[in-house]
Structure 1
């Protein structure tokens, strides 16, 4: 099968044994701003007048045709085109035999935008982690140092209060570390799902019960669970993370009644609410048509999410207009749902507020299929 160089996503420049350019694809033209017709037949240094970050001319420095006979090219590195335009460049020197003359120089070019975005994301993550760790660790250090230095001066009630604060802040640090580990696994595709038979109705009621025990009134929640739910095989701990995050967001940032609905679906493409924009009924949903699934919807009656922010809800560091938190929770929720082969969406609830819906294929083990 013939491959057209113009179909390649990266820039490709090939020079022959005399250093004349014989291939200059469309991506290379886009990155350099030079027309292919102008480049073909011209000397490689003239077509790609690259400099390193110290201002040295790259081809004079590396000398692919007259340099060391054992050199086979160079790995990807940042170089500069005229005007200071930065590109990622790698090169391969093709020889007919070991230590023989160079027959071709093959150069690939890539833009730096994707790497810059990754670097910014990593920098934001480090800054967020540093900020979130500083406050609880300062508290833990302060209270423990005070207790060690002045233990006899405090009453039992004062000691208990300080230790409770230390315990709460240590828990906050533990949760943050767990979030970071989840993000690492999600980004690398290594998030493990340990499927067990899961009673999703019981899990929902347990989370609601925890909020009631914490002081929320009964009237704050409306739970509607269908009677015909299929057996669901999922990772209980990870689905607990999903439910906990969605309910916590609805209680803390929403208003009015928080409604939790659990429904069966005839297939992941039919979540029981046909026609929902962006819902699991959209093409590209999990599983195969006809596979059973379970859909969980969590909605509130608060101000909701601005329309212009809907597309960013599940990205890292999204906090909307609210303050506090790492902004990582919904990113992790989406990663967990997708690791189960499911989908999660957000939209505006009919009575205002936000409505999150996630759909999980039943995920039955092969021996039960």
Structure 2
């Protein structure tokens, strides 16, 4: 038998639908009206450990001897060529390849006319590794959220139950202290819920950016003032603004969220002076932008951890936190079309630098 290459094996109709089969991330297997394989792309070869030249021209059932999780032969169960003429295909199922390897399989039946015979069978294969990673990530997120919620909710429940049961036994100062603690814990729960909503929007690509004029230098000074008002010495911060700055259109609430997270990390995990530099930046394609650099003088981030800083659940130390903040920061910067990097500061501490293009008013972007 003359075996053709993978690209040559795909019939014109399939090539018109999927022009570059070998570039697809999922496995693509196509069988003709007789059930023999006519297309077997590179991803299918990788997932099944079967070479394309071994698959082409052979019966589909022998190339993909799939079984369900109960050990039943899948092709005999579904009977694509002799089954109900109204079926359009099979939804995604978790099936087994020889050796017990799991694979996600979807099948589509192509007919030249409704209820006519199947003239082509298109099978999509996906490895289960990505799904498993997603499931592990979701499980870890649930565990993290449950852990972070338990402490403030336990505190809120304890103080409110105590106040309700023994209100008359406490002085006004004691009541105030307990209510302030409840208020702070409620804020902590609210922040966690906001983080979860942000992650959901980032992961689904639905994070909205409502652009308005933003004075980056004023925003930085406002955050620093909040820390000094809260008790930190003014000498803990140094703000350097190199002007003039271009007019920046960005989402002010989300920029505050970015600045708040980076400064909180520098104060909590770093040491010495926290330096915030704001300057104009020349970005790619000759566009203007604004650059902000936040650096401290602490121990910094280990070199081996640099690539994981913006991933979920990364924590720079054991001083609490969900490990979600920097993941959200990067999602916000990406949504603005900017970039963020991490490195070592001039005095050895951590240094975060993000750049934002000047952007445009929201009504111009929609128009």
TM-score w.r.t. length of structure 1: 0.90
Could you report, residue by residue, the CA deviation over 1:100-157 in whole angstroms, capped at 9, with x for unpaired residues? Answer: 2222221111111111111111111111111111111111111111111111111111
In the other structure, the counterpart of 1:40 is 56
The 5-angstrom pairing of residues 21-170 of structure 1 reads 21-170=37-186
In the other structure, the counterpart of 2:346 is 350
In the other structure, the counterpart of 1:268 is 283
Mean CA deviation greater in 59-68 or 12-21? 12-21
In the other structure, the counterpart of 2:251 is 235
2:126 match: secondary structure: strand
Contact 2:210/2:362 (<8 A) preserved: no
- Tell me by how many angstroms 1:4 deviates: 4.5
Specify every segment of 5 or more residues in structure 1 that has no aligned partner in the other structure, as ranges.
270-287
2:116 match: secondary structure: coil
In the other structure, the counterpart of 1:315 is 311
TM-score w.r.t. length of structure 2: 0.91
Counterpart-to-counterpart distance in 2, 1:188 and 1:221: 37
Counterpart-to-counterpart distance in 2, 1:45 and 1:302: 62
Counterpart-to-counterpart distance in 2, 1:121 and 1:367: 37
Aligned counterpart in structure 2 of residue 362 of structure 1, from 342, 348, 358 = 358
- Tell me by how many angstroms 1:366 deviates: 8.3
In the other structure, the counterpart of 2:323 is 327
1:19 equivalenced with 2:35 (yes/no): yes
In the other structure, the counterpart of 2:12 is none
Moved over 4 A (4+): 366-369
- Tell me by how many angstroms 1:239 deviates: 0.8
Specify every segment of 5 or more residues in structure 2 that has no aligned partner in the other structure, as ranges.
1-14
User: How many equivalent pairs are there?
Assistant: 349
Mean CA deviation greater in 214-223 or 252-261? 214-223
Mean CA deviation greater in 58-67 or 31-40? 31-40
- Tell me by how many angstroms 1:95 deviates: 2.1
Could you report, residue by residue, the CA deviation over 1:195-240 in whole angstroms, capped at 9, with x for unpaired residues? Answer: 2221211111111111111211122111111231222222111111
Mean CA deviation greater in 344-353 or 93-102? 93-102
1:184 equivalenced with 2:180 (yes/no): no
- Tell me by how many angstroms 1:20 deviates: 2.0
2:125 match: secondary structure: strand
Counterpart-to-counterpart distance in 1, 2:204 and 2:77: 37
- Tell me by how many angstroms 1:6 deviates: 2.7
Change (3 A) 1:111 1:362: same
Mean CA deviation greater in 96-105 or 196-205? 96-105
